[in-house]
Structure 1
Amino acid sequence: MITPLPGATELKAGSATRPFFGVQPALVDNEGNPLEGATEGSLVITDSWPGQARTLFGDHERFEQTYFSTFKNMYFSGDGARRDEDGYYWITGRVDDVLNVSGHRLGTAEIESALVAHPKIAEAAVVGIPHNIKGQAIYAYVTLNHGEEPSPELYAEVRNWVRKEIGPLATPDVLHWTDSLPKTRSGKIMRRILRKIAAGDTSNLGDTSTLADPGVVEKLLEEKQAIAMPS
Structure 2
Amino acid sequence: VDTWWQTETGGIMISPIPYSTPAIPTFATLPLPGIQPALMDEEGNEIKGNQVDGRLCIKFPWPSMARTIWGNHQRYKDTYFSAFKNMYFTGDGALRDSVGYYRITGRVDDVVIVSGHNLGTAPIEDAINEHPAVAESAIVGYPHEVKGNALYGYVILKETGESRNQDNLRKEINQLISDRIGPIAKLDKIQFTNGLPKTRSGKIMRRILRKIASNDTSNLGDTSTLLNPEVVQEVMDNVIK
TM-score range (shorter-chain normalised) is 0.5 to 0.7
Aligned to 1:215: 230
Q: CA separation in 2, counterparts of 1:199 and 1:183?
A: 19
Q: 1:113 to 1:60 in 2, by over 3 A?
A: same
Aligned to 1:110: 126
Deviation per residue, 1:163-201 (Å, 9 max, x gap): 565353442222124344324567664344323433456
Shift of 1:222: 4.1
Q: CA separation in 2, counterparts of 1:198 and 1:68?
A: 33
Give the aligned residue type for 1:127: I
CA radius of gyration, larger in: 1
Q: Is the 8 A contact 1:37 1:83 kept in 2?
A: no
Q: Is the 8 A contact 1:42 1:95 kept in 2?
A: no
Q: Is the 8 A contact 1:140 1:176 kept in 2?
A: yes
Q: CA separation in 1, counterparts of 2:214 and 2:78?
A: 22
1:157 to 166, 171, 174: 171
Q: 1:12 to 1:113 in 2, by over 3 A?
A: closer
2:137 to 103, 120, 125: 125
Unaligned runs of 5+ residues in structure 2 are 1-8
Shift of 1:141: 1.0
Q: CA separation in 2, counterparts of 1:171 and 1:81?
A: 21
Q: Is the 8 A contact 1:16 1:89 kept in 2?
A: yes
Deviation per residue, 1:89-137 (Å, 9 max, x gap): 52425335676762565614313313x424xxx5442223166786864
The equivalences for 1:26-175 within 5 A come to 26-29=38-41, 31-38=42-49, 39-45=52-58, 49=61, 51=63, 53-60=66-73, 62-64=75-77, 66-68=79-81, 71=83, 73=85, 74-83=87-96, 88=100, 90-95=102-107, 102-103=117-118, 107-114=123-130, 116-118=131-133, 123-129=135-141, 137-143=150-156, 145-146=161-162, 150=166, 153-154=167-168, 157-163=171-177, 166=180, 167-175=182-190
Q: 1:146 to 1:110 in 2, by over 3 A?
A: closer
Deviation per residue, 1:2-33 (Å, 9 max, x gap): 789x9xxxx88664259848x5x43223x454
RMSD: 4.4
TM-score, normalising length: structure 1: 0.62
Shift of 1:61: 5.0
Identity of aligned residues (%): 37
Structure 2 residue matching 1:82: 3-state secondary structure: strand
* 2:196 is equivalent to residue 181 of structure 1: yes
Structure 2 residue matching 1:63: 3-state secondary structure: helix
How many residues align? The count is: 209
Give the aligned residue type for 1:55: T
TM-score, normalising length: structure 2: 0.60
Unaligned runs of 5+ residues in structure 1 are none
Q: CA separation in 1, counterparts of 2:173 and 2:96?
A: 33
Q: 1:142 to 1:62 in 2, by over 3 A?
A: same
